[in-house]
Amino acid sequence: MPRRTFSRRFLAGGAVAAAVGPAAVGSAVPAAGAPAAAETAPTAKGTVRRARAGGEVRHLKMYAERLPGGQMGYGLEKGEATIPGPMIELVEGDTLHIEFENAMDVEVSLHVHGVDYDIDNDGTRMNRSTVPPGGKRTYTWRTHEPGRRKDGTWRPGSAGYWHYHDHVVGTEHGTGGIRRGLYGPVVVRRKGDVLPDKQFTIVFNDMTVNNRGAGETPDFEATVGDRVEIVMITHGEYYHTFHLHGHRWADNRTGLLEGPEDPSRVVDNKITGPADSFGFQVVAGENVGAGAWMYHCHVQSHSDMGMAGLFLIAKPDGTVPGHEPHHPPGHEHP
């Protein structure tokens, strides 16, 4: 497609939510007075930015809203809900207070994976932590650093690629809320973790990608050499296998090998089921160059039905070799 069209589409839909980077997160949380989550300033050849130390107490507003077409979404401002919801990025040791408002006419909640919370922040009806129509409440999420317990064992830290979702719309497990789009990514970093230049969130939710069906699935854009982070979440009913052409990642905590001794498998295809999440960083086009690199579910009927999109990696001059206004399988641009 013409690049102009692509960019417009890219900016219009769910991919925006999927591309909130560390700096943007910083600016979206002004109440916390948090600087961008980096120790060193701009990305430059030969350097990487790394996660700051944790320990901040941050405040965020979040809204649950109805969206066109029967969808629902989370957003940081009223009228700005997206699918997936906004990226929440923390460093181990941070605490996040989320002032949550239910701008819908049905009960909703916010249930999170991976981080610490008291039972009354569970986001379940059973634990009385849902929010009625028009209601407000604060959810508090905490994170912690790894360390040695008194008994000598090692306590893992909170770092990981996690996610949040509704746990009450439709059923007491939030099946209706999740189906309509009430989910989003959470990344908890360890101090010193490598920060990406760009972030994309890909959610295989039933037969959609980010609740977008065949022909409407998101593409993602980068330039050769960008350090791109992909957060991959699965929701719904089916198992999937996430495959990315031309790029691989380590099947471990960071998606990055720590060094020559790291025994983790390097993969380019991974089976996932509902509520699984993982993430990784790739250097766009490393060893393979620019191009329109497909990502897709590798369950054959799923890809054939359109669970596929493009990782468009441009040359420094902005062109993507061989990429013209034609379509990946099951993927049609308006």
Q: Among 16, 39, 14, 40, which residue's Cα sits nearest to residue 28? A: 16
Sole binder of a second copy in the list 24, 267, 315, 333 (CB under 8 A): 267
Query: What SS3 class is residue 167?
Result: coil
Among 301, 316, 317, 334, binds a second copy (CB under 8 A): 301
Nearer to a second copy, 27 or 171 (CB): 171
Smallest gap from residue 41 Cβ to a second copy (A)? 15
Among 14, 54, 86, 291, binds a second copy (CB under 8 A): 291
Contact by Cβ (8 Å): 293, 245: yes
> What residue type is 238 in one-letter code?
Y
Contacts of residue 315, defined as CB under 8 A and 6 or more positions apart, other chains included, come to: 223, 224, 290, 321
Residue ranges in 47-66 that form contacts with a second copy under rule CB under 8 A: 47-48
Residue from 261, 316, 317, 334 binding a second copy (CB under 8 A)? 261
Q: Which of residues 109-168 bind a second copy (CB under 8 A)?
A: 113-114, 116-120, 122, 124-128, 142, 144, 146, 149-157, 159-160
Is 192 a binder of a second copy (CB under 8 A)?
Answer: no
- What one-letter code names the amino acid at 197? D
**Beta carbon of residue 33, minimum distance to a second copy (angstroms, whole number):** 25
Residue 184 found at the interface with a second copy (CB under 8 A): no
Q: 235: part of which helix (H) or strand (E)?
A: strand 227-235
Q: φ, ψ for residue 135 (rounded to 5)?
A: -85, 170
Q: Which stretch binds a second copy (CB under 8 A): 4-12, 131-139, 216-224, 278-286?
A: 278-286
The nearest distance, CB 79 to a second copy, in angstroms, is 28
Q: Minimum CB separation from a second copy for residue 59, in Å?
A: 21
Under rule CB under 8 A, residue 90 binds a second copy: no
Stretch that binds a second copy, among 25-33, 68-76, 85-93, 253-261 (CB under 8 A): 253-261
Give the residue carrying structure tokens 């993927």: 331
Cα–Cα dist 238/247, whole Å: 24
In angstroms, give the least distance from the CB of 308 to a second copy.
8
Site string for a second copy, 205-244 (x = CB under 8 A): ------------------------------xxx-xxx-x-
Distances (CA, A) of 303 to 127, 163, 207, 243, 278: 39, 24, 9, 10, 20
Judged by CB under 8 A, which of 164, 294, 309, 314 binds a second copy? 294
Q: Which residues sit opposite 271 in a β-bridge?
A: 241
Look at residue 240 and give its three-state secondary structure: strand
SS3 (DSSP) at 78: coil
The CA-based angle 79-332-295, given to 5 degrees, is 85
Helices (H) and strands (E) in the chain, counts: 5, 21
Say how far apart CA 49 and CA 225 lie, in whole Å. Answer: 14
Interface with a second copy by CB under 8 A: which range of 3-11, 77-85, 131-139, 175-183?
175-183
**Is residue 105 a contact residue for a second copy (CB under 8 A)?**
no
Residues in the chain, overall count: 334
Selected from 34, 278, 309, 314, the binder of a second copy by CB under 8 A is 278
